[in-house]
Amino acid sequence: MCNGTHALIFATNNQNKATEINAILGTAFKISTLREIGLEIDIPEPHATLEENAREKSTTIYKLTQSDCFGEDTGLEVEALQGAPGVRSARYAGEHCNTEDNIKKLLQELATEQNRKARFRTVISLIENGNEYQFEGVCEGMIAWTSHGEQGFGYDPIFIPLGSTKSFASMTLDEKNKFSHRKKAVEKLVAHLHQKSRT
């Protein structure tokens, strides 16, 4: 920490996540992605839960840097698919498949399914002075029948949050952040950091 600014490493290679989180954090926080600190590492996500994978990311980077840092893991949990793709969201269509493949597979799985209920869940794992803290954010919604919109990333074109008729990919960053799972988890992280800096 310096001049009242919290400096944190964000254990991610996903620039879209960093852009979203920077828009939420404002100037009291300075986050640096792995690329920004010159670390080229693809952290494995071998576990069965978002909580464990988020911890894998934060602890891996803490061991390498000895600096306060956080990682996050996010999953799209579809009710009619018993929570899939969930923790396997990045690799739903296979190890080397891309976002389009994942969306295509999900829409195929739900082709005749009337229950479109789904939620995004984000778990942040913060390592602060060697101690771990976790923060969760959930956004309820539904899976659209087809893709809509060009903004955002990942499953955004097919996810419509509860309270809107638009997909995340049809929203600006600020609009998405009114609903977003990541925003809710980051708000808890921020509350924690503010509280710690007062004690």
Residue numbers of the site for ligand ITT (CB under 6 A)?
A: 12-14, 17, 45, 73-74, 89-90, 99, 102, 120, 152-156, 168, 182
Which of 68, 73, 156, 174 is an active site residue? 73
Nearest approach in angstroms of CB 142 to ligand ITT is: 14
Minimum distance, C-beta of residue 17 to ligand ITT, in the bound complex (Å): 6
- Residue 73 appears among annotated catalytic residues: yes
Give a three-class secondary structure readout of the chain.
CECCEEEEEECCCCHHHHHHHHHHHHHHEEEEECCCCCCCCCCCCCCCCHHHHHHHHHHHHHHHHCCCEEEEEEEEEEHHHCCCEECCHHHCCCCCCCHHHHHHHHHHHCCCCCCCEEEEEEEEEEEECCEEEEEEEEEEEEECCCCCCCCCCCCHHHEEECCCCCCHHHCCHHHHHHHCHHHHHHHHHHHHHHHHHHC
Choose between 112 and 157: whose C-beta lies nearer to ligand ITT: 157
Pick between residue 13 and residue 164 the one whose CB is nearest to ligand ITT.
13
Report the nearest approach of ligand ITT to the CB of residue 107 (Å): 14
Task: Return the number of the residue (19 or 197) whose C-beta is nearest ligand ITT.
Answer: 19
Q: Which residues are catalytic?
A: 73
